């Protein structure tokens, strides 16, 4: 590398100085970019073209808030209070003629904007954003945490009733031979499509709010029917395997396994060998990033969708766990909580040294070198523009790849895996199932009195 090239990299902030070779995460620039969506003072406002995302307000809030939370750069309390008020305005009750419910004010969900149709995806995004705020330090954000928690408690029962109205019982029996129980999927909204996204969004929301048992009948059978001959999961039975749908399927299955007190994914009927093989083949050897389907290009968002899916396999199938603590039942001498279950397989999701079944450092290299926009924000790949969606999921997948237990039971440390030995590159640990910080999940689980294995 020439001196002028080093000077350019240093000027852009990608290296510390002209003598350094370590690539840096542009934390401040990414934070500044994400804050644009929150209408903060002294920040550049969004261009008019963003009007096309008017029905995605909760998503924009979640993408930016989660990214800022991982960067340890949450905005001030007034901004968080404004977010809670905005999400409250997105809440809609379903009308009596739409569903057979005696009291129309007892069923509803979050829509994409004011007076818009309740939708599973925007409900998931809203609950995740509110969980982030509710789980913040109450000493620093006393009013915001109180308002977020109040909104979640206020709408909890109405959400459950609305979710039940979205059930779609499949006429086909489950693939599992000898099981006469019908599978049951969920619609994304009334009269909407039935796919694994809805199942995951409902499972995640229900798990955080503590009513998974009420919505779980037939869910697992429907998800198993969506696994393809390739090994991954499609959005519905007989569809092509896709990284995003596979993440949704595994996230939902993990929650359902805990709700049904099953030991591991093998007991659910998943073909783990085919699934594991399909997932590890998503990492491209040259770029280091993941693609989402066979014969497709690398995309930065699959850093989370595929990387997170492999991490979820680790939650279900090894003693060298993702640094979660939410589902664990034993604490080592350093106070780190770990899961130990002699009944589960030890080899799924991790390699022999305890790392995940993909090259974690190579994936991080892709994020640092290819996904970062030098002006802030992250993207799909070079030549593509930055956006809030890819910023969130590049950062989320980066966190997954960093915070892995790489030591065995006899060791004591939680070692952070880093492509470059730069502490400023390390993000807060994210939970791969819920896609928010681990401590936010732990707070919600404890708050709604859910069993630690749920």
pLDDT tens column, 105-125: 579 999 999 999 999 999 999
Mean pLDDT value of segment 159-182: 70
Q: Per residue in 251-292, pLDDT tens?
A: 999 999 988 887 778 888 899 999 999 999 999 999 999 999
List of residues 6+ apart from 367 with CB closer than 8 A: 289, 300, 303, 378, 394, 397, 398
Q: Is 189 an annotated catalytic residue?
A: no
Pairing mode, strands 108-110 and 167-173: unpaired
* Contact between 437 and 428 (Cβ < 8 Å): yes
Q: Is 341 an annotated catalytic residue?
A: no
Q: Measure the CA–CA gap between 129 and 140, rounded to whole angstroms.
A: 17
Q: Between the CA of residue 160 and those of 124, 133, 194, 215, 440, what are the distances in Å?
A: 13, 21, 18, 8, 21
* Contact between 397 and 367 (Cβ < 8 Å): yes
Q: Is 155 an annotated catalytic residue?
A: no
Q: Is 380 an annotated catalytic residue?
A: yes
The answer to which of 35-39, 212-216, 224-228, 429-433 has the lowest mean pLDDT is 35-39
Mean pLDDT value of segment 210-236: 94
Which tokens hold the place of 223?
């998800």
- Please check the confidence at residue 325 and state whether its pLDDT lies above 90: no
Catalytic residue among 390, 403, 437, 440: 390
Catalytic residue among 36, 380, 389, 393: 380
Catalytic residue among 293, 386, 431, 440: 293
Q: Between the CA of residue 437 and those of 41, 72, 150, 274, 287, what are the distances in Å?
A: 26, 10, 20, 30, 27
Catalytic residue among 93, 124, 302, 389: 302
pLDDT of residue 355: 66
Catalytic residue among 242, 258, 320, 350: 242
Which tokens hold the place of 348?
């799924």
Q: Measure the CA–CA gap between 52 and 42, rounded to whole angstroms.
A: 24
Closest CA to 111 of 95, 131, 94, 90: 90
Residue 85, number of CB atoms within 10 A of its CB: 11
The answer to which of 221-225, 441-445, 447-451 has the lowest mean pLDDT is 447-451
Q: Measure the CA–CA gap between 388 and 347, rounded to whole angstroms.
A: 35
Confidence of residue 103 (pLDDT cuts 50, 70, 90): low
List of residues 6+ apart from 301 with CB closer than 8 A: 244, 292, 380, 389, 390, 393, 394, 397
344 against 176, higher pLDDT: 176
Catalytic residue among 370, 387, 403, 440: 387
- Please check the confidence at residue 228 and state whether its pLDDT lies above 60: yes
Q: How many CA atoms lie within 13 A of 389 on its CB side?
A: 14
Catalytic residue among 296, 361, 384, 442: 296
The SS3 call for residue 280 is: helix
Dihedrals φ, ψ of 130, to 5°?
-65, -35
Q: Is 387 an annotated catalytic residue?
A: yes
Which residues partner with 387 through β-bridges?
A: 378
Pairing mode, strands 436-437 and 430-431: antiparallel
Q: Is 258 an annotated catalytic residue?
A: no
Q: Is 359 an annotated catalytic residue?
A: no
* Contact between 298 and 366 (Cβ < 8 Å): yes
Q: Measure the CA–CA gap between 388 and 409, rounded to whole angstroms.
A: 39
Confidence of residue 248 (pLDDT cuts 50, 70, 90): very high
pLDDT of residue 63: 98
- Please check the confidence at residue 211 and state whether its pLDDT lies above 60: yes
pLDDT of residue 332: 39
Q: Is 242 an annotated catalytic residue?
A: yes
Q: Kindly report the pTM of this predicted structure.
A: 0.87
Which tokens hold the place of 439?
């401590």
Catalytic residue among 120, 301, 370, 392: 301
- Please check the confidence at residue 341 and state whether its pLDDT lies above 50: no
Q: Is 141 an annotated catalytic residue?
A: no
Catalytic residue among 69, 195, 225, 299: 299
């Amino acid at each position: 590398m020439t001196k002028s090239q080093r000077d350019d990299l240093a000027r852009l902030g990608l290296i510390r100085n002209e003598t350094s070779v370590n690539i840096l995460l542009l934390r401040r620039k990414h934070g500044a970019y994400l804050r644009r969506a929150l209408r903060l003072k002294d920040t550049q406002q969004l261009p008019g073209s963003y009007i096309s995302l008017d029905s995605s307000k909760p998503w924009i809030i979640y993408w930016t808030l989660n990214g800022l939370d991982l960067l340890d750069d949450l905005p001030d309390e007034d901004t968080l209070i404004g977010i809670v008020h905005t999400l409250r305005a997105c809440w809609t009750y379903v009308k009596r003629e739409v569903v057979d419910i005696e009291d129309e004010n007892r069923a509803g969900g979050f829509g994409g904007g004011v007076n818009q149709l309740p939708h599973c995806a925007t409900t998931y995004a809203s609950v995740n954003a509110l969980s982030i705020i509710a789980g913040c330090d109450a000493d620093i954000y006393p009013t915001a945490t109180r308002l977020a928690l109040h909104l979640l408690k206020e709408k909890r029962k109405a959400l459950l009733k609305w979710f039940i109205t979205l059930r779609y019982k499949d006429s086909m029996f489950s693939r599992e031979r000898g099981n006469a129980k019908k599978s049951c999927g969920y619609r994304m909204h009334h009269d909407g499509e039935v796919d694994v996204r809805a199942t995951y969004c409902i499972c995640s929301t229900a798990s955080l709010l503590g009513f998974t048992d009420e919505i779980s009948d037939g869910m697992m059978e429907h998800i198993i029917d969506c696994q393809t001959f390739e090994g991954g999961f499609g959005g519905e039975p007989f569809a092509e395997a896709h990284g995003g749908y596979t993440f949704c399927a595994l996230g939902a299955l993990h929650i359902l396994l805990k709700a049904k007190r099953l030991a591991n994914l093998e007991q659910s009927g998943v073909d783990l060998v085919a699934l594991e093989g399909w997932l590890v083949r998503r990492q491209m050897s040259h770029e280091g990033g993941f693609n989402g389907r066979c014969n497709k290009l690398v995309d930065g968002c699959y850093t989370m969708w595929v990387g997170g899916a492999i991490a979820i396999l680790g939650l279900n199938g090894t003693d060298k766990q993702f640094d979660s603590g939410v589902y664990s039942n034993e604490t080592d001498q350093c106070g780190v909580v770990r899961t130990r279950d002699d009944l589960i397989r030890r080899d799924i999701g991790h390699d022999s040294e305890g790392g995940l079944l993909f090259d974690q450092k190579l994936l991080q290299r892709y994020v640092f070198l290819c996904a970062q926009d030098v002006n802030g924000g992250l993207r799909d790949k070079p030549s593509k523009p930055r956006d809030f969606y890819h910023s969130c999921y590049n950062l989320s997948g980066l966190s997954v790849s960093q915070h892995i237990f790489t030591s065995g039971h006899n060791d004591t440390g939680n070692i952070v895996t880093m492509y470059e030995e730069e502490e400023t590159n390390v993000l807060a640990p994210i939970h791969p199932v819920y896609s928010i910080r681990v401590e936010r999940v732990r707070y919600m689980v404890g708050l709604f009195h859910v069993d630690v294995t749920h």
